[in-house]
Structure 1
Amino acid sequence: MSFGPPPSMYTQSALAADQSRSRRRRRLLGVLAAVVAVVLCAGAGLLWYHSAGGAGHGDAKAAKQAPDDVRDGRESVEKAPVSPEGQIVVDHEENVLANKFRYAPGTWATDKIVARTVSNWIAGYRIGGSLDTDNRAWKLDLDGPVCAVSRDVTVDGRTPVVIQTSGSSCDQVLMVDLNTGRKLWQRKIPASEFAYVTNTNVALTRGVVAVAWGQGSAAYDTDSGKRLWNTTLATSQCHDAGYAGGPALLALVTCKQAGERTYRVEKLAPRTGKVAWSYSVSKGVQEVFLPSSDPPVLAVAAGDVLVTDLITLDPRNGERLATISLKNYEPYCDPETSGFFGVVDKCSGIVAGRDRVFVRSKDSDDPFKPANRITAFDVRKGTAVATFSGRKFQSVLPVRMNGDDLIVYRASMDEVQPAAIVDWNPRTGKETPFLLFRLPTEEDKTFDGKVEDDPQFSVLLYEHGRAFFAPYRLEREDPGKAGPVISVFGVGTAGLKH
């Protein structure tokens, strides 16, 4: 079954539709808010640092992962730095033509390199060193534009990418070594004539790369690129719409009958594709995302186009454990590139741990109250068990797990308080500052451009003691002018050697 005419990312229809997508911006601060910020917040950064206490990841312990494991924040625990004072470690710009933009859907970081996809190439940038010289370590030219990327990386720094090499079809999958820029293997996807940038998804789990599109799916060995299994549609009314990888492999299966679309979620054995269990989503759900494969967490739009609820499942048998209303929450399952590059497992306002799922709340309209909060829900019961509040004019965003702690980004919207990366222990409430820094803005003449930290428009990574900000697409604030824009910006600490 086709999803309509093949919408290449370079056709006028696709570009026009994307450019017309509304862009919600942050709350604007008036004169009163600026005065309140200065009066109430002066020196708050230092006060918070000294009152936060000691190490913040509690009894979390790092477990040694194998090289082909998918890097998991629950296992790879970040340590508190000697000093949280931040310094720039990457500041890379790309030129953009007037009235043009370029997609940049993939961003990954290792201990040495931060890498980005832009259009039809991937580049890796050295972390640290002199910022006065070109910090590009390598560039890998691809055989066509990028169709889909995985958010996951193996422990030894590999990730898969799907590209479009012929017409509008996303027909090739390849594995890249992010530390060296070397293409390890590239394979043609079978029966991929209906694989488009709007319906192709790629996921990575231990030892397996899985690709799904509108008319089939295929899985490959991460080391050799050997095809392990594949499915193609004949008369079936159901297909794998996409996968969630990481610790496990979940498939989102879409069925359409009598004009009605229904969904089910299946746990697959990665190397065989065999179904371990299946969960049928209630009728009337308009959209389903899979922000976590283990524990299995579904974000569903029930009777609406926006996500309304979380559903948690038992990883052993797929039985429903709890339903969590997201009426007052902002899961961000619809980034600016929504509909492109495979978004089945991308909800930047949700982070799942072993027994907790953390969700960002909606922004407050009251300038005298905290900007928002992060709530920790018990996975089995669905009850709220802990809350991490932002500050006045400083919103918070869940970034990743750190053992059983949560890494949080606290934004800054004034010139007084710094932005921060914080480790939060939800069992004790203890906060530990990992990074304190300031992002450049349009008004900051020290930089050529602005660093976007809104999760609707930009990805935020925290790996190996560094925070990286990278927009989903590269465009000028003034579209009528050509010039450089920040492609990736990274901050590390002077107090922690790597």
Structure 2
Amino acid sequence: MYTQSAVAADDRRRKRRRKTFGSVAAVLAVVVALGSVVLWAVNGSSSGSGSRKAADAPSRLDVRETVEKRPARATGALAFRFSADDLAPGEEHDMPGMWATDKILAKGINRTLLGFAIGTDSAAGDETWSIRFDGPICGTTKRVSVENRTAILFADSTAKGAPCDRVAFVDLDDGKTMWTETIAPARPSGTSGASDTYALQPPTVTLTRGTVVVTWGGGTDAYDMDGGKRLWRNESTDKCFHMGAGGGKALLIRLSCQDTSGPGGQAAYRVRKVDARTGHTVWTYAVAKNVTDVRLVSSDPVVVAVSAGDIGITDVLSLDEHGEYLATIRVQKGKYVAECVDEAEYFSVEDCPTIVVGDGQVFLRSAEQGDLVNNANWIVGFDLKTGRTVKKFDSGRDALLYPLRMSGDRLLALRESSDHISPMGLMSLDPATGTVTPYLYFDLPSEGWTLTAQTSNDIRVEDGRIFFGARTATGPKEKTWQWLVVGLESVARRAESLSIPKAGQGR
């Protein structure tokens, strides 16, 4: 994947990694066990084992929304590591996308999607499965179906400037490509020449129930998860261009329209809800004219983040089920952190890792208070109907809280140690009661500290584990191990998995 030496790594090096992996896990278990006693006490007796409201059993075609259970023991141990030691100084590789199931950690690297068995210390060549695409991966979505399948966009060749015009639907458990299709953009109706710039914008991909949705500037295509048949195509018309989609429980399309009434023909944005199986418009919401960017944070309930006359997200808006405006949550010039990822080569209008929506609220973290070491912040829940604050969760001394995702009606958050002495934690926050329940306490060696930054890395919580993965791999100035992905789990689960021999496992 990087060099031939990485693919054909010698046994001596692998044995050294495995010894290091085991010893680090053992040390962490002791350190975390001590730190967790001093640092936090369990606030309340909530097990976090499910939602307060009964939910219908999900269909295999639904987008996955797993509910995490509180581990038997909160002490954490290493569950997985993917690293490399053969990167030359300045050598750089794109690592788009990261997904986890109960047994596989999948990571994109350049034009390859690799699947690693969780519970291993891995380098290139140790993967359980791999999918090599015709060209570089050029679009991903964090969304996964109940069957552990997701969609990948890739270029049709490795040639420079090759179009990002292929979509694949892949099974993350066994590395099987279910189907691939070629996106064939058509020129938007009633447009020519000057509009080609919009029609050839970077495509995006997302999932909603039973459907893979791709936007490509000049329109939107929807494909059936079963078989890849194209269900419908909506082309851009009336100088409104399709510029990204948000999936999940519903489907939203972001439209960038030419506003001829304003000076210089400034673009105006619209958010459109579309029936994912038919392509029919349900409603359209016109965003204020002074907005320069719109991100689709949540499709149900509908929450969008906007940039109004400033660089970066300035406001978060909520809409009702009919597309009518409900409330505005203001970032207040940096008092709260609302950030979305904007990478030209892997563009996604729904990748806003610092904003979490659930239980009738939108959760934002505050700006950091204090210095680099003696730091603190809090997470605040804002009511979607009124925009008013509901609950506030303090990080505690020398720590920072980062909202990650919903787990049923509870919020999962990373508690990062700012002094790197006390352990980090995966916490469950209950907006209804204010209860904070520790799920995992763990530590990361210095090589993994940079992996916790939300907008430059992927952070996933799945099946009782938390994973941190780099979006790029860059060769260091001096030869050393580069930690690219690291995963943590409960020591109880780790001990159980180590005591059960796996089929074909000879290490």
TM-score, structure 2 length as denominator? Answer: 0.82
Which residue matches 2:30? none
**For structure 1, which runs of at least 5 residues remain unmatched after alignment?**
1-41, 443-448
Q: Give the Cα separation in 2 of the matches to 1:49 and 1:341.
A: 39
Which residue matches 1:99? 90
Matches within 5 A, 1:46-57: 46-57=37-48
Q: Give the Cα separation in 1 of the matches to 2:468 and 2:155.
A: 26
Question: CA deviation digits over 1:154-213, x for unaligned, max 9?
Answer: 011000011111543111111010001111100010227969996211010011111112
Q: Give the Cα separation in 2 of the matches to 1:191 and 1:483.
A: 45
Query: For residues 114 and 383 of structure 1, do their structure 2 counterparts lie closer, same or farther at Cα, with a shift above 3 Å needed?
Result: same
- The question of whether the paired residues in 2 share the 8 Å contact of 1:148 and 1:197 is answered with no
Q: Which residue of the other structure, out of 76, 79, 93, is the alignment partner of 1:86? A: 76
> Secondary structure, in 3 states, of the residue corresponding to 2:179?
strand
* Paired letter, 1:79: K
Q: Give the Cα separation in 1 of the matches to 2:100 and 2:347.
A: 20
Matches within 5 A, 1:417-436: 417-436=422-441
* Paired letter, 1:70: V
Residue 146 of structure 1 pairs with residue 151 of structure 2: no
Which residue matches 1:119? 110
Q: How much does 1:309 deviate?
A: 0.3
Q: How much does 1:60 deviate?
A: 5.5
Q: Which residue of the other structure, out of 301, 316, 319, is the alignment partner of 1:313? A: 319
Which residue matches 1:228? 231
Q: Give the Cα separation in 1 of the matches to 2:255 and 2:396.
A: 41
Deviates more, 1:337-346 or 1:295-304: 337-346
Q: Which residue of the other structure, out of 470, 482, 504, is the alignment partner of 1:485? A: 482
Q: Give the Cα separation in 2 of the matches to 1:153 and 1:306.
A: 28
Query: For residues 307 and 286 of structure 1, do their structure 2 counterparts lie closer, same or farther at Cα, with a shift above 3 Å needed?
Result: same
Matches within 5 A, 1:257-406: 257-258=259-260, 259-315=265-321, 317-327=322-332, 328-333=335-340, 335=341, 338-365=343-370, 371-406=376-411
Q: How much does 1:135 deviate?
A: 4.9
Query: For residues 53 and 264 of structure 1, do their structure 2 counterparts lie closer, same or farther at Cα, with a shift above 3 Å needed?
Result: same
The structure that is helix-richer by fraction is 2
Which residue matches 1:176? 170
- The question of whether the paired residues in 1 share the 8 Å contact of 2:374 and 2:419 is answered with no
Q: How much does 1:102 deviate?
A: 1.3
Q: Which residue of the other structure, out of 203, 209, 214, is the alignment partner of 2:212? A: 209
Q: How much does 1:127 deviate?
A: 1.0
- The question of whether the paired residues in 1 share the 8 Å contact of 2:170 and 2:177 is answered with yes
- The question of whether the paired residues in 2 share the 8 Å contact of 1:440 and 1:451 is answered with no
Radius of gyration: which is bigger? 2
Which residue matches 2:19? none
Q: Give the Cα separation in 2 of the matches to 1:275 and 1:466.
A: 39
Question: CA deviation digits over 1:321-345, x for unaligned, max 9?
Answer: 1011012111121x3x533312200
- The question of whether the paired residues in 2 share the 8 Å contact of 1:266 and 1:275 is answered with yes
- The question of whether the paired residues in 2 share the 8 Å contact of 1:400 and 1:406 is answered with yes
Matches within 5 A, 1:457-496: 457-476=456-475, 478=476, 480-481=477-478, 484-496=481-493
Q: Which residue of the other structure, out of 46, 53, 66, is the alignment partner of 2:59? A: 66
Q: Give the Cα separation in 2 of the matches to 1:133 and 1:352.
A: 36
- The question of whether the paired residues in 2 share the 8 Å contact of 1:254 and 1:264 is answered with yes
Query: For residues 367 and 474 of structure 1, do their structure 2 counterparts lie closer, same or farther at Cα, with a shift above 3 Å needed?
Result: closer
Which residue matches 2:258? 256
- The question of whether the paired residues in 2 share the 8 Å contact of 1:61 and 1:77 is answered with no
> Secondary structure, in 3 states, of the residue corresponding to 2:452?
coil
* Paired letter, 2:285: Y
- The question of whether the paired residues in 1 share the 8 Å contact of 2:98 and 2:458 is answered with yes
- The question of whether the paired residues in 2 share the 8 Å contact of 1:109 and 1:115 is answered with yes
Which residue matches 1:21? none
Q: How much does 1:392 deviate?
A: 2.9
Q: How much does 1:145 deviate?
A: 0.5
Query: For residues 171 and 427 of structure 1, do their structure 2 counterparts lie closer, same or farther at Cα, with a shift above 3 Å needed?
Result: same
- The question of whether the paired residues in 2 share the 8 Å contact of 1:198 and 1:342 is answered with no
- The question of whether the paired residues in 2 share the 8 Å contact of 1:147 and 1:196 is answered with no
* Paired letter, 1:210: V
**For structure 2, which runs of at least 5 residues remain unmatched after alignment?**
1-32, 188-195, 498-507
- The question of whether the paired residues in 2 share the 8 Å contact of 1:198 and 1:341 is answered with no
Query: For residues 423 and 255 of structure 1, do their structure 2 counterparts lie closer, same or farther at Cα, with a shift above 3 Å needed?
Result: same
- The question of whether the paired residues in 1 share the 8 Å contact of 2:116 and 2:122 is answered with no
Query: For residues 196 and 282 of structure 1, do their structure 2 counterparts lie closer, same or farther at Cα, with a shift above 3 Å needed?
Result: closer
Query: For residues 469 and 319 of structure 1, do their structure 2 counterparts lie closer, same or farther at Cα, with a shift above 3 Å needed?
Result: same
- The question of whether the paired residues in 2 share the 8 Å contact of 1:369 and 1:391 is answered with no
* Paired letter, 2:218: Q
* Paired letter, 2:139: A
Deviates more, 1:362-371 or 1:116-125: 362-371
Q: How much does 1:216 deviate?
A: 2.0
Question: CA deviation digits over 1:287-315, x for unaligned, max 9?
Answer: 00011111100100001121100000002
* Paired letter, 2:118: I
- The question of whether the paired residues in 1 share the 8 Å contact of 2:251 and 2:275 is answered with yes
* Paired letter, 1:183: T
Question: CA deviation digits over 1:424-482, x for unaligned, max 9?
Answer: 1111111111111001214xxxxxx6551011211111010000000111124x3x456
Matches within 5 A, 1:6-21: none
Q: Give the Cα separation in 1 of the matches to 2:165 and 2:121.
A: 39
- The question of whether the paired residues in 2 share the 8 Å contact of 1:350 and 1:357 is answered with yes
Count of residue correspondences: 443
Which residue matches 1:110? 101
- The question of whether the paired residues in 2 share the 8 Å contact of 1:97 and 1:483 is answered with no
Q: What is the RMSD computed on CA atoms of the aligned residues?
A: 2.5
